[in-house]
Amino acid sequence: MKSSFKRYVIGKPLRSDTLGEQKLNKRKALAILSSDALSSVAYGPEQILIVLMTVSTVAFWYSLPIAVGVVVLLAALIFSYRQVIFAYPHGGGAYVVSRENLGVNAGLVAGGSLLVDYILTVAVSVSAGTDAITSAFPSLHPYNVFIAVFFVICLTLLNLRGVTESASILAYPVYLFVAVMLILIGVGIYNVATGQVPAELSPKVGTPVAGISLFILLKAFASGSSALTGVEAISNAIPNFKDPGPKNASKTLLAMGGILAVLFIGIVSLAYFYGIAPNAEETVVSQIAEASVGRNFFYYIVQGTTAMILVLAANTGYSAFPLLAVNLSKDRFIPRMFQIRGDRLGYSNGILMLGLAAIILIILFDGATEHLIPLYAVGVFIPFTLAQAGMMRKWWREKPKGWVAKFAINTIGAVISFIVAMMFFVTKLPQVWPVFIFLPMIILMFHRIKKHYQAVGEQLRLNNEELPNVEGNVFIVPVAGITKVVENTLHYAHSLKVDKIIAFYVAFDQDDAKAFEEKWKAWQPDVRLVTYYSPYRSITQPLMKFINKVEHQCVKTGHQVTVVIPQFIPKKGWHHMLHNQSSLLIRATLLFNKNVVIMTVPFHLTK
Amino acid sequence: MKSSFKRYVIGKPLRSDTLGEQKLNKRKALAILSSDALSSVAYGPEQILIVLMTVSTVAFWYSLPIAVGVVVLLAALIFSYRQVIFAYPHGGGAYVVSRENLGVNAGLVAGGSLLVDYILTVAVSVSAGTDAITSAFPSLHPYNVFIAVFFVICLTLLNLRGVTESASILAYPVYLFVAVMLILIGVGIYNVATGQVPAELSPKVGTPVAGISLFILLKAFASGSSALTGVEAISNAIPNFKDPGPKNASKTLLAMGGILAVLFIGIVSLAYFYGIAPNAEETVVSQIAEASVGRNFFYYIVQGTTAMILVLAANTGYSAFPLLAVNLSKDRFIPRMFQIRGDRLGYSNGILMLGLAAIILIILFDGATEHLIPLYAVGVFIPFTLAQAGMMRKWWREKPKGWVAKFAINTIGAVISFIVAMMFFVTKLPQVWPVFIFLPMIILMFHRIKKHYQAVGEQLRLNNEELPNVEGNVFIVPVAGITKVVENTLHYAHSLKVDKIIAFYVAFDQDDAKAFEEKWKAWQPDVRLVTYYSPYRSITQPLMKFINKVEHQCVKTGHQVTVVIPQFIPKKGWHHMLHNQSSLLIRATLLFNKNVVIMTVPFHLTK
């Protein structure tokens, strides 16, 4: 039953040799890998205006040059990452580039930041999408956390079904969002161009603003740059592309950059021309839509697709996180389980871990994950900077044909990314300080895990010292009564070549001990019975004590102690609740604390 | 560490032979077993007034005759249960009495109702106590559920420490509450007697009231009778009393009845004389205190002790539930684990189960458990009725000396209890209907559990058919690589008398299979290796398939199949997360589905 439910939700298992069919074409890849970046259009422009408003609404004209700055940074990043794609065609993005060129620790800083960042992406975007929905239907507001968690579960299941399947489903809303935004921008610009929008709504470009400072402008620029998160996702996910992977990935990256630039500039311009000020009740996009087309059917389509794209932005995390985890896991910095492909050939452990971590964050922050946005942005610009710096180093060392141009592009990318990262640290320290705690912790953890794997490898490797032979065997059979289960176990024990079989009984009072000994002698006169009285009603403690005693003898003669547990297996699952699970406890305690072999001899009940 | 934490919270384990020291004297027993009944004084009178107010405040004078009725019922119940105590000196109360005299199903109805009822007691009283506290400190209101759960955890831990210890601590607040209530009633009556309270506050007794009906009066009586829940607890808990148990229990019961009658009549009278009407903002007790003594220091003591007694009322459930569970468990209607004494000699599984169920109810109802009060009252009057009817039957059959008087007392108790139960069904059906669903379900569950235990008993009992001997052994060793762990396991397998040892390897691709086979042949030429290719990347499925094949052969020759799992044991707990737990999965799947012995051969890592 459990398995058929799983099949229904996730789909039938796929054979390993059908992996090739699970690759993405450019159209689908653009949809699932760019949703994060494109969704930033819904909040990036607003972030700029919020900072400018702290001075005065007259300062809003600065949003235009700031948007141009953001687009320049975007272009630098797109071209830089395009070079990363061709230089590292197997994917891995910032982690691999930094590790190869700047050393392991730089790689771990980049990888650790991104790993945490994808979790934040999921939590932040799903919460933002949920907010958009509950703003439209305020009666749903009390269920915010519940709805957000529900979306995360849906996305997790969809991704467990496999990357092509999720791409096929998610392509529609992403392209719909792009189309709707382009129409909105088109209509808005037409209105402005035909003079239907009063010019006095917008402050003249160049108007002097009292109280404006470079610090404010940089802060606004940094806030706007949060729209660029997600740009690196394609470089992580090259293995998911149809052949030729790097070429397809690069084209997809350029297409994404183009669309993002148009939408970003478009929304910022409309906000400027319509003189829109951010307010807590209504988003900037909603105000723009209302101003340009009114509260008609199209307005609700704008709102609906915006909510959808915010939720789907999370999907970029689902595409990139598992592949990054595979890379870290191959280098043994995180558990091996992240390399295992699930039933549908996706890296299901990574997908599940991402979903789980996002749900925990959403619940912990009670759905108010907007406090995490600065943390999330700085977590992106650190790996951006490291990746570009790594590429600079690569070109400088290898000096291939035409390296100067390549070096120049990456240098521009590195410098701007570094400046943005620094701006975040300077302007938003109260929100980003946790980076200084969790990044070192994560990197320490990476190293400890690697060290453990190395130690295990050494201990498991065959070497010249052969293990000593087992000279003989002593079986200890803990018995709880005189039953068929015990009879069955003794039959089995007798069939193996054993030097000694000892039955062991724990009595809770002294009279019981004597009575049991007599009954045993009558039933199994040839099997020695040892009885311990347990004043504190524990079974494990007396057993451990007895094993210690027996082991003390066995060590001298090279004998191995084996504990043989008689266990009846009920016919139905719920029956287990009705029986003491002491055998499980005994097994776990002995296995981890003593050098004894544990045997479970089952006796299956038939009704 | 885990164990030393447990010791700190629960206390050192106690030896089984110190059980006698864990018994209660009358003073302590009265405190912990009557807290439930006494706490009803805090809400019972209010319940009566709430019903009367639906007609008119003039109807309040009816509260006096209704209170007298409640006290008559109380007296009948006290004397009835006194006879139960002497007739069944080993405890068990309504369950044992009904089972012995009216048959198993009547016993199960009584036992099932009480079991659920004690859970409701804990949830309802702790929630009520929490409400009293958060009414005093409204800023705590949002944390209602959290505070209630915290109290339940405290009570659970206190009871896990043992019954004498909890009694010693809880005696103070219970006696303080009684003293404070007596003072309050004394001051109030003095004020009334000295004419300081205007007579026009209270409607004259006998004033005709428009719209009053027998139905309303019965409803008010039934609501007031909810103050009598908890009266049966002492009869369940006789085994906890110091010798002579029945005599001490009976005296305690009489003392409780006396105190309860005085407090109940006192509070109802004061409410009447001061003309107090129930309102949502302030409890009746709070209004009485304010009216008689004003908002001074004493007022806050009244409020504080009332809140305390409401929380502590839950403790009665903790005393009675585990003992009732032991009785049901001895008859095999609920799992055996309820008979196991914990470290501190209390029936810790019952205590834990009660706490857990109460926490679930509190969370499910978001702390608003007052909706459960009618359900809880009806769940008490069903066993009241059955217990008294059972006693009637007993006297009738046995006819001991002076049986007519005894029979008469129980008949009065039975009739009034039955009437109250019926009134609940008639007047509060919308709240009590779940009884008709959950009671039959619980009784069905009781019977299914008993049937299962009987079936297991039969199958385990030794009989004349001896089990067949094991004629020989085949060991299957699943291997994941060529390592020291496997070497260690093979050494062990060779030391036992085995007809065949087969190593089994699951390959995820065809090339890997070949390469492994060659390496194996070079390393262990004498141990046969079987390799299966797993296109769906499962390890368990190919193993199951192979075992089926081997078993097919073995069945013919009487050979036993054993799966020998090589397992390395990491040195530290957190290391487990870094390794696949596939051995656990294999073990569980095989144990429950196949008739194979499972062996785990540990290889302990040293670093």
pLDDT in tens, B373-394: 778 888 888 999 999 999 999 9
CB-CB contact of A76 with A413 (8 Å): yes
**Secondary element (H or E) of residue A284:** helix A284-293
Average pLDDT on A59-66 reads: 90
**Secondary element (H or E) of residue B478:** strand B472-478
Q: Are residues B280 and B429 in the same domain?
A: yes
φ, ψ for residue B472, nearest 5 deg: 180, 175
- At B268 the pLDDT is 93
Q: Are residues A415 and A495 in the same domain?
A: no
Highest mean pLDDT among A410-424, B207-221, B251-265: B251-265
Confidence of residue B1 (pLDDT cuts 50, 70, 90): very low
Contact list, B519 vs chain A (CB under 8 Å): none
From chain A residues 493-522, the ones with a CB under 8 A of any chain B CB are 494-498, 508-509
Give the end of a domain, one of B453, B484, B508: B453
- Asked whether residue B361 is assigned to any structural domain, the reply reads yes
Task: Tell me the two tokens of residue A575.
Answer: 């029956």
Q: Chain B contact for A340, CB < 8 A?
A: yes
Q: Are residues A76 and A222 in the same domain?
A: yes
Whether residue A470 has pLDDT greater than 70: yes
Would you tell me the crossing angle of helices A245-273 and A163-193 to the nearest 10 degrees?
30
Cis bond before residue A244 (omega within 30° of 0): yes
From chain A residues 278-307, the ones with a CB under 8 A of any chain B CB are none
Distance CA B299, CA B187 (A): 12
Give the burial class of A307: count Cβ atoms within 10 A of its Cβ; 0-12 exposed, 13-18 middle, 19 or more buried. buried
Distance CA A338, CA A581 (A): 32
Q: How many CA atoms lie within 13 A of A526 on its CB side?
A: 5
Whether residue B26 has pLDDT greater than 90: no
Q: Are residues B304 and B445 in the same domain?
A: yes
Mapped onto helix, strand or coil, the DSSP state of residue B578 is helix
Chain A residue with the nearest C-alpha to that of B484? A460
Distance CA A590, CA B456 (A): 27
Predicted ipTM of the assembly = 0.84
What would the pLDDT profile of A84-126 be if each residue is shown by its tens digit? 899 888 877 889 999 999 999 999 999 999 999 899 989 988 9
Whether residue A201 has pLDDT greater than 80: no
Contact list, A523 vs chain B (CB under 8 Å): 462
- At B578 the pLDDT is 77
Inter-chain touch B495–A471, beta carbons under 8 Å: yes
Q: Are residues A489 and A443 in the same domain?
A: no
Task: Tell me the two tokens of residue B522.
Answer: 């070079």
- Asked whether residue A190 is assigned to any structural domain, the reply reads yes
The more confidently predicted of residues A583 and B71 is B71
- Asked whether residue B465 is assigned to any structural domain, the reply reads no
Nearest CA to B237 among B128, B136, B320? Answer: B320
Would you tell me the crossing angle of helices A163-193 and A26-39 to the nearest 10 degrees?
60
Whether residue A2 has pLDDT greater than 60: no
Contacts of the segment A432-439: beta carbons below 8 A, 24+ positions apart: A432/A374, A432/A375, A432/A378, A434/A375, A435/A113, A435/A375, A435/A378, A435/A379, A435/A382, A438/A116, A439/A109, A439/A112, A439/A113
CB-CB contact of B330 with B340 (8 Å): no
- Asked whether residue A41 is assigned to any structural domain, the reply reads no
Residue B556 amino acid letter: K
Q: Chain A contact for B580, CB < 8 A?
A: yes
The number of C-beta contacts closer than 8 angstroms across A and B is: 187
The more confidently predicted of residues B590 and B465 is B590
Q: Are residues A433 and A484 in the same domain?
A: no
- Report the sign of the C-alpha dihedral through residues A264, A267, A269, A275, in that order: negative
Q: Are residues A260 and A380 in the same domain?
A: yes
Query: CA of B534, closest CA in chain A: separation in Å?
Result: 9
Domain interval for residue B496: 472-604
Whether residue B372 has pLDDT greater than 90: no
Q: Are residues B177 and B93 in the same domain?
A: yes
- Domain containing B32 — which CATH number? 1.20.1740.10
Distance CA A508, CA A314 (A): 58
Contact list, A450 vs chain B (CB under 8 Å): none
Average pLDDT on B504-522 reads: 92
- At A490 the pLDDT is 94
List C-alpha distances in Å: B546 to B213, B478, B551.
79, 11, 9
Average pLDDT on A354-370 reads: 86
- Report the sign of the C-alpha dihedral through residues A126, A128, A131, A132, in that order: negative
- Domain containing B537 — which CATH number? 3.40.50.620
Alpha helices of B365-465 — where are they, by DSSP H? 373-398, 403-427, 429-432, 434-460
Give the end of a domain, one of B453, B488, B518: B453
Whether residue A199 has pLDDT greater than 80: no
| DSSP letter (8 states) at residue A241 | B
Q: Are residues B87 and B139 in the same domain?
A: yes
Q: Are residues A146 and A184 in the same domain?
A: yes
Confidence of residue A488 (pLDDT cuts 50, 70, 90): very high
- Domain containing A483 — which CATH number? 3.40.50
Share of chain A above pLDDT 90, in %: 39
What would the pLDDT profile of B193-250 be if each residue is shown by its tens digit? 888 878 777 778 777 877 888 888 888 888 888 778 888 888 888 888 888 888 999 9
- Asked whether residue B22 is assigned to any structural domain, the reply reads yes
Confidence of residue B3 (pLDDT cuts 50, 70, 90): low
From chain B residues 512-571, the ones with a CB under 8 A of any chain A CB are 523, 535-538, 560, 562, 567-570
Distance CA B580, CA B478 (A): 14
Query: CA of A17, closest CA in chain B: separation in Å?
Result: 7
- Asked whether residue A182 is assigned to any structural domain, the reply reads yes
Q: Are residues A449 and A484 in the same domain?
A: no
Whether residue A342 has pLDDT greater than 90: no
Q: How many domains does chain A have?
A: 2
CB-CB contact of B64 with B205 (8 Å): yes
Q: Are residues A99 and A238 in the same domain?
A: yes
What string of H, E and C letters represents the secondary structure of A12-78? Answer: CCCCHHHHHHHCECHHHHHHHHHHHHHHHHHCHHHHHHHHHHCCCHHHHHHHHHHHHHHHHHHHHHH
CB-CB contact of B22 with B162 (8 Å): yes
Chain B residue with the nearest C-alpha to that of A18? B535
Whether residue A1 has pLDDT greater than 50: no
- Asked whether residue A493 is assigned to any structural domain, the reply reads yes
Distance CA B11, CA B161 (A): 6
- Report the sign of the C-alpha dihedral through residues A582, A583, A586, A591, in that order: negative
Give the end of a domain, one of B389, B420, B453: B453
- Report the sign of the C-alpha dihedral through residues A5, A6, A12, A13, in that order: negative
From chain A residues 161-220, the ones with a CB under 8 A of any chain B CB are none
Whole-number mean pLDDT of chain B?
88
Q: How many CA atoms lie within 13 A of A162 on its CB side?
A: 20
Q: Chain B contact for A6, CB < 8 A?
A: no
Inter-chain touch A598–B596, beta carbons under 8 Å: no
What would the pLDDT profile of A427-445 be if each residue is shown by its tens digit? 888 888 888 898 999 999 9
What would the pLDDT profile of A127-184 be if each residue is shown by its tens digit? 888 887 887 777 887 788 889 999 999 999 988 988 777 788 888 889 999 999 999 9
What would the pLDDT profile of A237-251 be if each residue is shown by its tens digit? 888 888 888 899 999
Distance CA B42, CA B151 (A): 19
Chain A interface, best mutation among B328, B537, B564, by max A CB count within 10 A: B537
Residues forming beta bridges with residue B473, ordered by sequence position: B560
- Asked whether residue B424 is assigned to any structural domain, the reply reads yes
